[in-house]
């Protein structure tokens, strides 16, 4: 039942979109189709990503109030959480918005893995095509005549890890906690999470991108580049709006 639901919701839409793009891109280049599919997915997810960035800005803005609540109710964790959530609600903050974007992308990566490793390319699986879709006459797995999309690419994997690192460096983060290491388990966990997001996650992304396939590595690289540009543009828009309101 799970596999059937996954095919209907994730695999089949991705596969049909990819097949359509292969049929219209120059030289039926699967790599170019993957790039276009990635951009399409990122555009669909843009509202969620924009909300996550705006949430980070708002959290940074109310940090003094959060620190005040933390100090005032340091001996009453339940009241501290209650006050914090009330402050979030007052400022229309959705703490999990950033994780939502990540969680949505995981099935997409799994869907691409399923496409390239479980059959479907370069031979077209007509059983997965919608009735109105036609199989392309040609499927070119050589991205720009250089990289085999069905194989592994150390170059694309390194690019995936590098762009993930760049994004982690420029991304807006919650300001550093004020306590010293060892004084607060919660703050220590936050420090650890920040370090892992900046330095460990890029390595994990690079390894996974190489292990699965060049197509997934290309998807991840394109997604990261799009996210970096998106982050900079949304940040500029928010800062411009704040300056205008002053």
The 10s digit of each residue's pLDDT in 143-192 is: 999 999 989 999 999 999 999 999 888 875 544 455 555 555 555 566 66
pTM: 0.81
- Structural element, H or E, at residue 143: strand 142-143
Domain that holds residue 19: 2-245
Predicted pLDDT of residue 21: 95
Please state which of the ranges 26-35, 105-114, 225-234, 237-246 shows the lowest mean pLDDT: 237-246
Tokens linked to 232: 């900079």
Q: Distance between CA 84 and CA 95 in Å, rounded? A: 11
Number of domains, the chain: 1
Phi, psi of 74 (to 5 degrees): -65, -25
Phi, psi of 142 (to 5 degrees): -90, 100
pLDDT tens for 22-60 read 999 999 999 999 999 999 989 988 888 888 888 877 877
pLDDT at 107 > cutoff 80: yes
For 85, what's the count of Cα atoms within 13 Å in the CB-facing half-sphere?
7
């Amino acid at each position: 039942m799970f596999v059937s639901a996954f095919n209907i919701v994730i695999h089949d839409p991705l596969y049909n979109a990819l097949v359509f793009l292969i049929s219209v891109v120059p030289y039926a280049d699967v790599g170019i189709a993957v790039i276009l599919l990635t951009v399409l997915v990122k555009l669909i997810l843009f509202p969620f990503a924009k909300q996550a960035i705006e949430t980070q800005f708002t959290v940074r803005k109310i940090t003094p109030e959060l620190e005040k609540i933390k100090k005032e109710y340091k001996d009453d964790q339940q009241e501290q959480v209650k006050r914090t959530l009330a402050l979030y609600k007052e400022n229309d903050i959705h703490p999990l918005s950033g994780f939502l974007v990540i969680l949505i992308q995981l099935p997409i990566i799994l869907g691409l893995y399923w496409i390239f490793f479980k059959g479907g390319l370069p031979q077209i699986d007509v059983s997965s095509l919608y009735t109105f879709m036609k199989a392309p006459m040609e499927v070119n797995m050589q991205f720009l005549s250089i990289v085999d999309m069905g194989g592994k690419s150390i170059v694309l994997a390194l690019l995936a890890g590098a762009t993930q690192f760049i994004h982690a460096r420029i991304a807006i983060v919650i300001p550093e906690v004020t306590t010293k290491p060892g004084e607060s388990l919660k703050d220590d966990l936050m420090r650890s999470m920040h370090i892992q997001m900046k330095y460990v996650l890029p390595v994990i992304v690079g390894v996974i991108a190489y292990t699965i396939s060049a197509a997934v590595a290309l998807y991840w690289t394109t997604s990261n580049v799009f996210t970096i540009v998106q982050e900079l543009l949304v940040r500029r828009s928010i800062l411009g709006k704040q300056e205008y309101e002053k």
